[in-house]
Structure 1
């Protein structure tokens, strides 16, 4: 009797393409433009506290699905935990995740789950990762806010993340060239 090997792709229900990144959220005030009357100098209150936390996230531009977790810092251990939780959330799917070249993304100590493939974007090109736009949208709502504690900031950030619908995430991250490439590749 012949033994047949199962193709690695055949063991998965579907293949999903994600864009992943991390973003720092801190008590230092995010500044931006202020609208005032002509001739009136804009005044904004700022603070320079250095306390912060990080949000690790992935978005699927094709569907608008997203997965985010909060960590106290950036390192290989936190990234590995993030990948394990994503892999466990969708265990029957194969996940291709576009990431930047952060040292912890390709550390020798990183254990990547079997159903995840990391796809590294070219160095120094954050503009090719759609999740960067999502972070920008979240931070835009936090401009000129002075949070006294990390808990206050955390609550505001998670409120913004929880309010995002899949449609909104898809409209922010679903760039035409990515969607066309996924369609041609048979992802849709």
Structure 2
């Protein structure tokens, strides 16, 4: 089992701060698992970010799992000669994602309900 470190918390905080500052006028609901650094008491969360915790031991409700499944489906027949070729192929697929595709993969009712409760 992975033991989180202070560095994990710092990295997550940096991510949240960069993300929040990139879109300062928006309120962001970010779904996270129950990893220790996601719920650390010392974690500083920007005012325009809400963390939505998924139920414990339930990766099937994590929208990113569906997104990764979609990407794997797009790349399943790909044969790469090197890791750089794989990176470029993944980046290309990520750039091809549209709001409609992302919404169809991640717009689950419990997430939409959370947004509704937040009156967004």
TM-score normalised by L of structure 1: 0.51
1:76 aligns to 2:29 (yes or no): no
Aligned-partner Cα distance in 1 for 2:71–2:17: 25
Aligned-residue Cα RMSD (Å) equals 2.5
Q: Which has the higher strand share?
A: 1
Per the alignment, do residues 153 and 76 of structure 1 end up closer, same or farther by CA in structure 2, a change over 3 Å counting? farther
Query: Which of structures 1 and 2 has the larger relative contact order (alpha carbons within 8 angstroms, sep 6+)?
Result: 1
Q: Which residue of 1 aligns with 2:47?
A: 114
Structure 1: give runs of 5+ residues left out of the alignment. 1-73
Q: Which residue of 1 aligns with 2:71?
A: 138
Q: 2:29–2:115: 8 Å Cα contact kept in structure 1? A: no
Report how many aligned residue pairs link the two structures.
113
Corresponding residue to 2:56 among 111, 123, 130: 123
Structure 2: give runs of 5+ residues left out of the alignment. 1-6
Q: Return the offset for 1:93.
A: 2.2
Per the alignment, do residues 83 and 177 of structure 1 end up closer, same or farther by CA in structure 2, a change over 3 Å counting? closer
Q: Which has the higher helix share?
A: 2
Larger radius of gyration: 1
